[in-house]
Structure 1
Amino acid sequence: MSTTIYGIKNCDTIKKALKWLDANNVEYTFHDYRVDGLDSTLLDSLCEISDVEQMLNKRSTSYRALTDAQKADTTPAALKTLFLATPTLIKRPLLVKGSDALLGFKDAQYQAFFE
């Protein structure tokens, strides 16, 4: 079953996750939003396996740059529009294996995810 990790390459959490995957001999594909892009089809498929509201990275500098009105509207449609315009608003990493997804990186979570 293929594994894909989504994010941006200069993110420290992505670097930790990639290091963990390499150390544990997990084969994966890395999808960099800035290089490989994010379109509505991909975003829709990601939202089918992960909660769109949980995908919002409220600790990012991109989030802090949003207006109060944008922060207040957390409907799926509004979030998808924001994600397409600014993919760095998506919590990183987003790890997808088959129909399972995991947001963020914690060693123990990754260990359990791949057991």
Structure 2
Amino acid sequence: MRVLGLKNCDTTRKAVKALKEQGHEPLLVDVRAEGLSEAEIAALVEAFGDKAINRASATWRGLSEDEKARPAAGLLKDHPALMKRPVIEEGGRYRRP
């Protein structure tokens, strides 16, 4: 089980803590530091569509209107921190807590 998020994100940390309390041993993947693979991006877009992007983030607010109009996959490739987080990946399935 992996938790995709940011190590500094309170919501991500709460999700990891809750999973540990439930007896899981989640691996935290800091998407800002490690990025997302093409396969992960494709799976996130397939699972969440346009809702894979966090439009309330500071990163989103810093984008130009042209960049905001790009497809979710391209945005996640260039700006992995735009991912709405956290996302739990287990057995190839992606979900939010």
What TM-score bracket applies, with the shorter chain setting the length?
0.7 to 0.9
The alignment status of 1:38 with 2:31, answered yes or no, reads no
TM-score (norm 2): 0.84
Aligned residue in 2 for 1:56: 53
Q: What is the CA distance between 1:99 and its match in structure 2?
A: 4.5
Size of the aligned set, in residue pairs, is 97
Instruction: Give the aligned CA root-mean-square deviation in angstroms.
Output: 1.8
TM-score (norm 1): 0.72
Q: 1:100 aligns with which of 78, 93, 96?
A: 93
Q: What is the CA distance between 1:25 and its match in structure 2?
A: 1.1
Aligned residue in 2 for 1:89: 82
* Larger-Rg structure: 1
- Counterpart-to-counterpart distance in 1, 2:33 and 2:65: 29
The alignment status of 1:14 with 2:16, answered yes or no, reads no
Q: Aligned pair in 2 of structure 1 residues 30, 21: CA closer, same or farther (>3 Å)?
A: same
Gaps (5+ residues) in structure 1?
A: 104-109, 111-115
Gaps (5+ residues) in structure 2?
A: none
